[in-house]
Structure 1
Amino acid sequence: MRSRPSWTAECDDLARFAPAPLYERIKRLISERITLGHWQPEERIPSENELVRDLLVSRMTVHRALQELTREGLLMRIQGVGTFVAPAKPEYSIFEIRNIAEEIAERRHEHSCEVRMAREELATPRTAEALTVPPGAPVFHTICVHYDNGIAVQMEDRYVNPQAAPDYLAQDFTKITPTLFLTRVITATDVKHVIEAISADEETARCLDIGRDEPCLRMIRTTWANKLPVTHVVLTHPGRRYRLSGVFSPAKA
């Protein structure tokens, strides 16, 4: 009988995860090795063929386990290259107004932006309420998708008050992000943040290249400058690729 390979010798037999289905046991074995640090972020794991050979299971079972772990964000699969441990989720600040391009650059990754929409509109009642401008007032509307090393990590749906930033639509947002431009021309005095968990609708799923109804994190930010409404933006992140965080110091008594 063939001896078990060295990479599985560090763990007990798959039977210890019984009575879970076989594909679920494989998921748990792989998850355990990642959690214990045996496989590091961005490290290549054994291929489907190797897992089939080493674990003595069917290809269909291995494929399902890898597919589900990829969908859950623990693994990433690159066509023709292999399967890798997903990098740690980057964090997006909830208390600061930060330029996502700078955050991505700090991780030594490459930022890119696709502009899906950039136009002037008349504010609908809903938009007017969100941006705190009169209904029917002109507003600028942009939709951008931000990428981290070619992977969509944020959908930015933004309305801007032309009185606050009249040159907004003249910018090339593939070279300067809307956030960076606005922070250069406006000093925010009041900021409101709302965070919610959502399921991706059809447009969000298409923009972020994720499944319909996949969990997402959404941050809604409204900004004013000396009571002048500046911008209302909805930032949507795939839940399996991003996490929101914040640190603050409570006021001392």
Structure 2
Amino acid sequence: MMNQSPLYLQIKQYISDKIESAQWPVGHRIPTELELTEQFKVSRMTVNKAVRDLVAEGKLQRKPRLGTFVCTSDDKAESPLLDIQNIAEEVKVRGKIYSSKVLQQIALRADDSVATKLGVMLNSPVFYSEIIHLEDDLPIQYELRWVNSVYAPGYLDQDFTQITPNEYLSDNCPLNAIEHTVEAIAACDHVRSALKMGLNEPCLLLNRRTWSDNRLVSSALLYHPGTRYKLSSKVILS
């Protein structure tokens, strides 16, 4: 007999129990949403919400045209912490499909916060972009970036669905220094929605500033869903 909790939570618990009991091991393709809809006699929307939550929590992984599979933490996307790499290339190297959604790409005047980020005078002209990076249609990074317009004058002319800001800046403002700060945060509703995260899912925030020829060129906030993304580093000690 089913309990009185919301139907989508009952379905979510059913799937979680199958995974945790190893009846559905890593790599197992779970029933389709249509099959679960018929099994539980509920709407497709109800099933979809249960599955989306489990994808956001890192327990399931959608594979376009193949289905939804049980996954492990080893399936997390990964970036090097002590280096800067093009996220599009990282995704492709993992054998996944990269895509992006450009939400904003505008010129603005630096307020106090932005002036501090970029080391420019208040009201200086700067460029701003807001982009969601996806792996197999699932968001893995939400990028907010401010760029010094003096050092990257062609920034707003770029099609960031075809190249990434990192790729453009690396080609036009060769990197000579980076600054990274990483923290675990409770994501606000806006970030959680952009990354399709669960309500209590942890979020990794990478605060990055980059210099070229000792000039501060870019400052970025990079948000990642903690259950689907990890940062790593390797230090060789002599």
Question: Normalising by structure 2, what TM-score?
Answer: 0.78
Return the offset for 1:28: 5.9
Judged with a 3 Å threshold, the aligned counterparts in structure 2 of structure 1 residues 130 and 213 are, in CA distance, closer, same or farther, namely farther
Alignment-mate amino acid for residue 235 of structure 2: F
**Counterparts of 2:90 and 2:61, CA distance in 1:** 21
Q: Which residue of 2 aligns with 1:186?
A: 173
User: More relative contact order in 1 or in 2 (CA 8 Å, sep 6+)?
Assistant: 2
In the alignment, the residues of structure 2 paired with residue 144 and residue 96 of structure 1 have an alpha-carbon distance, to the nearest angstrom, of 20
Say if 2:56 and 2:201, in contact at 8 Å, map to a contact too. Answer: no
Q: Alignment identity in percent?
A: 35
Paired letter, 1:74: K
**Distance (Å, rounded) in 1 between the aligned partners of 2:234 and 2:103:** 32
Question: What are the within-5 Å matches in structure 2 for residues 89-100 of structure 1?
Answer: 89-100=76-87
What is the correspondence of 1:52-131 to structure 2 with a 5 Å cutoff? 69-76=54-61, 83-86=68-71, 88-131=75-118
1:39 paired to 2:22: no
- For residue 33 of structure 1, give the secondary structure of its aligned residue in structure 2: coil
Which whole-Å CA distance do the structure 1 matches of 2:133 and 2:108 have between them? Answer: 23
Structure 1 residues 98 and 32: CA distance shift in structure 2, 3 A: farther
Which of residues 201, 220, 229 is equivalent to 1:233? 220
- C-alpha separation in 2, matches of 1:120 and 1:108: 35
**Aligned-pair CA distance for 1:59:** 9.2
2:97 alignment partner AA:
E
Partners of 1:67 and 1:182 in 2: how far apart? 34
CA shift, 1:209, in A, is 2.3
**Contact residue 27 and residue 66 of structure 1 kept, 8 A:** no
With 108-117 and 197-206 compared, the bigger mean Cα shift is at 197-206
In structure 2, the gaps of 5 or more residues are 1-11
Q: In the TM superposition, what is the alpha-carbon distance from 1:159 to its structure 2 partner? A: 0.4
CA RMSD of aligned residues (A): 3.3
Which secondary structure state, in structure 1, belongs to the residue aligned with residue 96 of structure 2? Answer: coil
Does the Cα contact within 8 Å between 1:215 and 1:239 map onto a contact in 2?
yes
2:161 to 174, 186, 193: 174
> Whole-Å Cα distance in 1 between the matches of residues 193 and 15 of structure 2?
31
Tell me if 1:135 matches 2:132. no
The DSSP-based 3-state class of the residue aligned with 1:40 is: coil
Extract structure 1 runs of 4+ deviating beyond 3 A: 23-29, 45-50, 63-71, 76-83, 211-214
The CA deviation at 1:220 is 0.7
Shift of 1:160: 0.4
Counterpart among 222, 230, 234 of residue 243 in structure 1: 230
Superposition pairs for residues 193-232 of structure 1, below 5 Å?
A: 193-212=180-199, 214-232=201-219
**Cα distance in 1 between the residues matched to 2:137 and 2:229:** 15
Distance in 2 of aligned mates of 1:130 and 1:202: 24
Q: TM-score, normalised by structure 1?
A: 0.74
Structure 1 or 2, whichever has the larger Rg, is: 1
- The letter for the 1-side match of 2:204 is L
Q: Which runs of 5+ in 1 are unaligned?
A: 1-22
Partner AA of 1:39 in structure 2: P
SS at structure 2 position matched to 1:145: strand
Amino acid at match of 2:152: A
- Work out the CA distance in 2 between the residues paired with 1:149 and 1:77: 8
Structure 1 166/84 Cα, relative in aligned 2: closer, same or farther at 3 Å?
same
